[in-house]
Amino acid sequence: MPDCSCEKCVEACVYGNPGWFLPGQVEKVADFFDVPPEVLIENRLIKDYWPKHLIGRCDILSPVKIFDSSLPSEISDIALEGKCAPPWYALIPGRCTFFFAGVCTIHSVKPFECREQGCGPEFKQKWPGHSLREYIAGEWLKYYAAKAAK
């Protein structure tokens, strides 16, 4: 797994949208911090969504963004941890809650989307366009369908 030394690779961590977890990955991050998954979700994650899949607005877990203090307080002061991402969330740049001093503090258990992204041609060929997010959303769709069937 590449480290965080490539400036291009960490753009999403600093200026974009933090990567999405697959079902089952949040528990690994919770174990990493030695906290229950519910505590991690409540304090460090946001519930995002992928509109193409019509799986609802609050289904895909992702690290919450830390907004720049230069933003208007109506945005920078909103506590989004544990909540559903508002419609404007993807449009506002912010740093991943787990990215500090140029380092991913959860590198060994980082979200699937972060693992699968990179700036080399092999990444662009493997996940063209939005297919990576579509794949992750599809995995959450299967997870929720299996959960509802129980």
Would you kindly state where each structural domain of the chain is located, as residue ranges?
11-149
Strand partners, 104: 99
Q: Which residues pair with 66 in a beta bridge?
A: 95
The predicted-structure confidence for 15-66, as pLDDT tens digits, reads as follows: 878 899 999 999 999 999 999 999 999 899 998 887 765 555 567 999 998 8
pTM tops 0.85, yes or no: no
Tens of pLDDT along 93-122?
Answer: 888 999 988 889 999 999 999 888 766 666
Rg over CA atoms, the chain: 15
DSSP at 84 = B
Instruction: Provide DSSP, 127-146.
Output: S-TTHHHHHHHHHHHHHHHH
Cα–Cα distance for residue pair 121/103, rounded to 1 Å: 23
CA distances from 68 to 63, 76, 78, 96 (A): 16, 7, 12, 11
Tally the C-alpha atoms within 13 A of residue 112's C-alpha that lie toward its C-beta. 18
